[in-house]
Amino acid sequence: MTRSELIDQIKSKRSFLCVGLDTDFEKIPRHLLNHADPVFEFNRQIIEATADLCVAYKPNIAFYECRGIAGWQSLQRTCEALPKDCLSIADAKRGDIGNTAKMYAKAFFDQEMSGLRFDALTVAPYMGHDSIQPFLDVEGKWSIVLALTSNAGGVDFQMHEDADGVRLFERVVGKTNRWGTVDNLMYVVGATRGEAFTAIRALAPDHFLLVPGVGAQGGSLQDVCRYGMNADCGLLVNATRSIIYASDDEYFAERAREEALVLQGEMEKELAAKGII
């Protein structure tokens, strides 16, 4: 999916919602265990219930890797079921050098090689340029660099100031945005770091930001939009637990849709207030 196609979807669906598919086998409704692939069946129903309300889906790869071959099969089926008009993000947080990074790129981008055809992949920048470039080299794909995360431990390193008073996350954004472009590079910025969006936007005014932490983690959608939204929206706000685990009974998909609809309605108001729609 190109940048312009993503923006068109945001305007058309009046939403910048990304639904996280962190599907925990222990949390899916028990009646789904009668299916041959309960994890995929759960994902399929969530996708069908929310596809018109969101512009992206983000499976967290750890929830599939931990189940071995069965998990990878569920992931492949899920990837195939994702709507073509939604950005598909593999939340794998890969980061290694040289040929290793190239192999990770093949794993998530090369359908002929691995069976997976994700549009985007989250990547860790700690090992520097040669750990990111192999992903950026894949034409038509997005790399989403971890910049400022919403977890409590994120402050251990990301907020550290150097001798010039520049915080590490600012160094990461300032450095990496010279490696890619607004057409193939995004950043992960946690919703619980509202005021830091101003600093990030000063360094990357036009890049899309993938924003976890709204919903169950307590991040404010209004703060994210106030500090992070640009003229094209420039945001993909992820919600996971508040949507996919809204219910654990046979009506789980309907309840997921209800929760997604609430967020989509709030997003529509923010887009209208900014004059984007």
Tell me the catalytic residues.
Answer: 93
Rounded CA-CA distance 192/182 in Å is 24
> What would the two tokens of residue 109 be?
């981008």
DSSP 189-216: E-GGGTTHHHHHHHH-SSSEEEE--BST
Rounded CA-CA distance 136/185 in Å is 8
* b/e map 96-124, b = 16+ CB within 10 Å: beeeebbebbbbbbeeeebebbbbbbbbe
Are 95 and 125 in contact, with CB atoms under 8 Å apart? yes
Tell me the CA end-to-end span of the chain in Å, nearest whole number: 20
Q: Which amino acid belongs to residue 76?
A: Q
Are 242 and 20 in contact, with CB atoms under 8 Å apart? no
Cβ neighbours of 155 (radius 10 Å): 13
Helix ranges (DSSP H) in 96-146: 98-109, 111-114, 129-136
